[in-house]
Amino acid sequence: MCFAASASITRISFTMNIDPVTDVSYVVETIALSSPLKGPVVANITAPIIPGKNITIVSVKSGSDEELPYTLDQKHSVLDILAYNTSYITIEYVVSGISDEVSIGVYAITIDLENFTAPSLSGTITIFGKYSVFVAPSPESITNGTNCVIIRLDQPMIYVMTLVSQQIVSQTQVTSSPHTTTASLGKTSTTSRNTVIQQRLSGINPWSIVIGLLIIALGVAVVALYRRRGGGKIEIETMPSGDILSDDTVKHIILLVGDAGEKGIKQSRLVKLTGRPKSTISRRVKRLMEEGIVEIIRAGKYNIIKLTDKGREIYEQLKKEYEEKHE
């Protein structure tokens, strides 16, 4: 038996079924490897999993349906897997503690995919129930089914989802229906107290209630994620449109990676040196990889970032500009 030094994760795809009422989610995750492991070749693969308060691993199997040994690191939300005789790994697990009930029929859910920094990522989330779903940042797509909502994700970032039961809006649309009673003496018509209440409520825009619930749910989701990370810094933002080199953080990343030389630099180190949140660095590294400027190499629990030939040319130009500016 020998260990493979070059095996790495090239693609992560997953399906996740969420029941917001019970706060239990079932995940099936498939990890594709850069090269098949054959014969006595063994690789230590560190696979990311979706974090939650509680994680229960159901199975970890090779492509031939053989159980693989693993160690769960719940603090860092990863599995250390000893893989052999396979080109991909399938992980099944149950996650709880990702859904917070804000009000009756209103839920806030956080899906943290920041560790899912493979070259290719594809995720399908099915939320059971009749809900209006709002996601930030915007997912690849949202599809409403008969009794479920299907959300597709393709970026390694934190997604905050707000679920509002479709009954909420209809319940807030209280219409005034005249209801009179006739007194036994003199047959005097009087308006009932229920009618007065209905008439007052009918003047309220139901969407103002829904929007208020959305704001509360978003706040609850962010606070919940903040607590799960032990008070870590959270920032939700989007990449600037247009030329990525117009972004100061992107330039800083390229300079730091270039200064690190051939050995590269850990992505976690970039977070520390730039002083930016993990989500900010993760999105920019992903974009730089898509542009062919950097490459990501998985080494145990860490992502090592290195410049490509294209990235080296950009680095040298940025370095020259930086030195001229600070002469």
- Interval 241-250: pLDDT, tens: 567 788 888 9
Average pLDDT, the chain: 79
- When pLDDT is averaged across residues 236-258 and rounded to a whole number, the result is 78
User: CB neighbours of 187 closer than 8 A, spacing ≥ 6?
Assistant: none
- When pLDDT is averaged across residues 303-314 and rounded to a whole number, the result is 92
Quote the pLDDT of residue 217: 53
- When pLDDT is averaged across residues 22-30 and rounded to a whole number, the result is 94
Rounded to the nearest 5°, which phi and psi values hold at 98?
A: -110, -10
Range list for CATH 1.10.10.10 in the chain: 244-325
Judged by average pLDDT, the poorest of 151-160, 186-195, 242-251 is 186-195
Residue 11 pLDDT class (50, 70, 90 cuts): very high
Q: Cα–chain-centroid distance for residue 218?
A: 14
Q: Is the pLDDT of residue 18 over 70?
A: yes
Residue 185 pLDDT class (50, 70, 90 cuts): very low
User: CB neighbours of 95 closer than 8 A, spacing ≥ 6?
Assistant: 24, 25, 27, 49, 50, 51, 52, 54, 55
Pairing status of strand 9-19 against strand 120-128: parallel
Q: Is the pLDDT of residue 114 over 80?
A: yes
Pairing status of strand 70-73 against strand 54-62: unpaired
- β-pair partners for 295: 306
CATH number for the 244-325 domain, one of 1.10.10.10, 3.40.50.720, 3.40.1190.10, 3.40.50.2000?
1.10.10.10
Q: Is the pLDDT of residue 133 over 50?
A: yes
Alpha helix segments (H runs only) across the chain: 166-172, 193-201, 206-228, 248-260, 267-274, 278-290, 309-325
Judged by average pLDDT, the poorest of 91-105, 169-183, 231-245, 251-265 is 169-183
Q: Cα–chain-centroid distance for residue 303?
A: 18
Range list for CATH 2.60.40.1730 in the chain: 2-100+110-161
- β-pair partners for 298: 303
Q: Is the pLDDT of residue 172 over 80?
A: no
Residue 90 pLDDT class (50, 70, 90 cuts): very high
Quote the pLDDT of residue 188: 42
pTM: 0.60
- When pLDDT is averaged across residues 168-195 and rounded to a whole number, the result is 47
Q: Is the pLDDT of residue 169 over 70?
A: no
Q: Is the pLDDT of residue 193 over 70?
A: no
Q: Which fold has domain 2-100+110-161?
A: Immunoglobulin-like (2.60.40)
Distance of alpha carbon 280 from alpha carbon 185, whole angstroms: 74
Quote the pLDDT of residue 59: 95
CB under 8 Å, gap of 24 or more: what pairs does 265-271 form? 265/304, 265/305, 266/302, 266/303, 266/304, 266/305, 267/117, 267/296, 267/302, 267/303, 267/304, 267/305, 268/302, 268/303, 270/305
Q: Is the pLDDT of residue 220 over 70?
A: no
Dump pLDDT digits (tens) for 263-299: 999 988 898 888 887 777 888 888 898 889 999 888 7
